Every structure is written in C-alpha cells, then in structure tokens.
Amino acid sequence: MLKKITVFLILLFLPVLAGAEEDKLCQVRLPFEKATIEYSISGVEEGTETLYIKNFGDTTARFHRSVMQVMGIEKVTETIIITEPEWIYTYDLREKTATKTVNPKIYLEEEYLQLNESERGQVRKNSEKLGLGLPNNGMNGEFEANVMTMLGMHCDKTQLMGTTSYTIHDSDIPLKTESNIMGMITLIEATSVKKGYAPEKYFLHPEGITAVIDPEADAVSRSMAQEIIRKLNDPEASENVLFKDSAHQLQPDPEEQQDMEKAIEALKNIFEN
C-alpha cells in the first residue's frame, strides 16, 4: 500500500511539469499565498479534513479525522500530515507514532537539474504532451485541464488507480477526490475555502511524537523520479512506455492480492448486513 501511495503522489505531479521553468520543476502555482480549506468525508468513512496552506502551497498541514463502523466496533482515525518543501511528516495522533519521507518533488528536481538545457526542454515538452492525456490502459489514467469550477476556482481532473481527483488548476491541491477501491467508495470534497487565513500554530509539529524516516517510501520515490525523468527525456516517449514500469510497481504480489480480496469481501458483507 505504501508503494502505491508513493507512486500516486509522484504521478499526480506530472500535469504540473509542463509549465516548469528552466531551473524549477513541480512548482505549485496557487492563486493565493495562504488559505484554509475545509473538507467533508463520506462513504466507507465519515469525517472531516482541514487543510492549512501557506507560502503559496509550499507548506501545508492536513488534519484528518474519520470514523468507520465495523461489526459494531468504531474505528477512529486521527492524523496530521505536514508537507514541507523537503519533507512530508505523517502523525498518527491515536497511536502516537509518526514517519517522515523526503518530499517526492525533491527527487524529481534533482533528476531534472542534472539535465542540460536541451534535455530540460524535452522533459517539459513530453510532460505537456503526456500530461494532457494519460494512458487509458495499464493504469487507466487520464488528465484534463480546467474541466470544472469549484468554490470559485478552476480545477484540473486526474484519474488514476481507481481515484479521480479535481485539483486547483496547475497545482497538486485537491478540492474533490473520489476513490473506488474494490467497491469501497470514499468521497472527500471541499466545502469552503478561506483565503488569507492559516494560523501558524497549525504548522507546528505535535509534541511528544518523534517522526521516524521511512526508507522504503524514500527508495520508491527516488526510483520513480529517476524513471519518470528518464522516460520524459526520450524524444520518442509515449504513454505506454512512460507508464509501463509504473503500472508494474502498482501490481500487488499474488499473496497480497488474495489477502486484500478476502479483507474487502469481508468488509462488504459486514456493510451489507
């Protein structure tokens, strides 16, 4: 699951690469310096999220609280994800544990800056070509720019891995995310955006919890970044070639797949009853 999430995070940046500057990649272009976005969560989980944004999106803090009922037992999830330019911290407030991983943008930047001017131009060109039409096979991905307006902001649409995300145009900030994983549906939708408001206290890390580096996530991020930049630097790059290896990494092994199917089927039976 960790590998799938990491791959999805990196691939979500692809539509943003097309407008990259000569010395900058994956630059978030929010139309405001700071804001607070409130979300509702519905489906297999019920709850809320609050996303605090500052520095035009370079730093965010996402507070998540949701509840799932399983066989009369209430499963409560409380997390804080703090994304900074160099690190992403994930805090589990109930378990009092935390992990940190290098921001995937760092690895993409590193690989990009190793290229010469001509190669960077090729990467941006292919990003624009592939970003506007992710492959319809393998990973079943699609991208469309400015497909709708939510809360007064234009949104791009990305479909990937059973998840449809509507992000603020030319950014990686979602306003609506719909996921359907083996019949388990979750909808996270923004209900309000308060621009100019993001109290500094929400960006402070929780006291008493030490974040531990997650080497597996870092290894996957670096590997994916290297592969994506290498493929985007190919003048003959195509959707199928670019995403072939990514799709392979998303495939669980047979034992994992079998365990997942059993767990999902059990949960479906519980909800139906």
Q: Which residues contact 166 (CB under 8 A, 6 or more apart)?
A: 147, 148, 150, 155, 156, 157, 174, 175, 176, 177
Q: Judge whether 175 and 155 are in contact, CB under 8 Å.
A: yes
CATH classification at residue 228: 2.50.20.10
3-state secondary structure at position 234: coil
The DSSP bridge pattern shows strands 212-213 and 97-102 to be: parallel
Domain count, the chain: 1
The label of the residue with tokens 């996957």 reads 220
Which amino acid, residue 264? I
Up-side HSE of residue 50: CA atoms within 13 Å toward CB? 11
Instruction: State the residue range of the domain holding 77.
Output: 2-272
pLDDT of residue 68: 86
pLDDT of residue 129: 64
pTM across the whole model: 0.77
pLDDT (tens place) for every residue of the chain, 273 residues total: 444 445 455 555 555 554 455 555 556 668 899 999 999 999 989 999 999 999 999 999 999 999 987 667 788 999 999 999 999 999 999 999 999 999 888 888 888 889 998 988 888 777 766 553 333 333 445 778 889 999 999 998 888 778 899 999 878 899 999 988 777 889 999 999 999 999 999 999 999 999 999 888 888 888 888 887 888 888 876 544 444 444 444 444 455 455 445 544 544 444 343
